[in-house]
Amino acid sequence: MTEAHADTHGSEDATRRDFIFIAVGAVATVGAGAAVWPFIDQMNPAADTRAMSTTEVDLSQIPVGSEIKAVWQGKPVFIRHRTPSEVGQALRDDFAQLKDPQSDEDRIQQKDGKAGKPEWLILQANCTHLGCVPLPSFDPGYRGHYGGWFCPCHGSDYDTSGRIRSGPAPKNLLIAPYTFLTDHSIRIG
């Protein structure tokens, strides 16, 4: 290969060289970024996980004053059949000093905004502190003061509407989206 003369075009060549290198670098970086994305995205929930499954629950077997835990998307959900006094307490507590203010009415409404039924409270059963499942008021291990739930892990105390009243949890127990299918059955999710 015949060699070119030692370059006498000095800065012109230097600019051209720089341009080529910058162009290559830029295109390669864009490509590398695009190539990395699938590896990151593949850890996001897959299509089968994303297709939200729904859980249907028959409420007719839950007596007043008791609750069941249903499973929705792999997580527990409290379905509490509240007594009238629990409902009354919840309504009164609307005006108490709340870390995470929210009215009881808002917490019982259905997924599409329609009004719920005051005796039915459907909440995600994970403490908003670090995720343990709190104990209901009628459980032998219950040590709370507000008639709702008590989390044995770090002492978070929830009232009859599932609102945080004392303890380290920052937020109220999260609402699970649900819809009444009939008077006695709901679909969660």
Instruction: Report the residue number, 38 or 140, with the smaller CB distance to another protein.
Output: 38
Smallest distance from the beta carbon of 174 to another protein, in angstroms?
19
CB 86 within 8 A of CB 107: no
Q: List binders of another protein among 42-81 (CB under 8 A).
A: 42-44, 46-48, 51-54, 58, 61
Q: List binders of another protein among 168-187 (CB under 8 A).
A: none
154 included as an active-site residue: yes
11 binds another protein (CB under 8 A): no
Residue 185's DSSP bridge partners are: 58, 182
- Residue from 12, 15, 27, 154 touching another protein (CB under 8 A): that is 27
Binding mask 104-143 for another protein (x = CB under 8 A): ----------------------------------------
Instruction: Report the residue number, 50 or 114, with the smaller CB distance to another protein.
Output: 50
Residues binding another protein (CB under 8 A): 1, 3-7, 13, 16-17, 20-21, 23-24, 27-28, 31, 34, 38-39, 41-44, 46-48, 51-54, 58, 61
